[in-house]
Structure 1
Amino acid sequence: MAENTVVYYGTGRRKNAVARVRIVPGTGKVTINKRDAAEYFGRQQLLDGALAPFKVTDTLGSFDVIALCDGGGISGQAGALRLGIARALLNAGDYRADLKRAGFLTRDARVVERKKFGLKKARRAPQFSKR
């Protein structure tokens, strides 16, 4: 990268995944953990969901994405990447209204419920026997 290149930062979280995102004005190249995004996620559906903020703001292909994702699984990492990209776009331009309307600025607070003692899972009780 050149010395005077403008870089926008955003951090996204989803379940146990964290994505630290940098977006740079460019051609639309997406790199995650130094790998191509299509190769990293494997499924096009995950990649489309992660890049949805660009579609909403009509900026698809005008920014390069460099992201570091860790924790959780690929679905959680795709959600974290989506939030990180949306937050970085906030710094890049006047996109708040579009991103807010699409719901991309809200952190998905759903996480796995903990297992309770005396139960088999979070809510699954052991089989009941009358005798």
Structure 2
Amino acid sequence: MQAFVEHYDFTFQNTYAMDINLVYEAVAQEEVEVVLAYSTDPRLYEFDLKTLEDDKSFFPPYDASMLVRNETLEKYPEIDEIMKELIGSMDEELVTRLNYEVDINNRSERDVAIEFLQSRDLLSE
């Protein structure tokens, strides 16, 4: 936190190192006003937090990578084309909404993924 504060030349009365899971409770209890959080964490929506732009590039970019086992690709070669169609199609807002469905609405990862792929016509019903 201190490096971030210095990088942006912020001045706060107090700063606290805090586990990410405690950050949102601290916000809910109005114990803190500014927190560092993951940009795709669904709790940003749950607690109605505003994400600020990192215009000085303090944090490295968060880019997801798709991986598939060679054996799986050999068995289901159509996965390669589906993965190519997904490249560059998932921004932070979309990932946050998908995470929200799983983490906050308690839906299964599998159901959310299937629904997403079907909505993009990448998976038949």
**TM-score, length-scaled by structure 2:** 0.27
By percentage of residues, which structure has more strand?
Answer: 1
By percentage of residues, which structure has more helix?
Answer: 2
**TM-score, length-scaled by structure 1:** 0.26
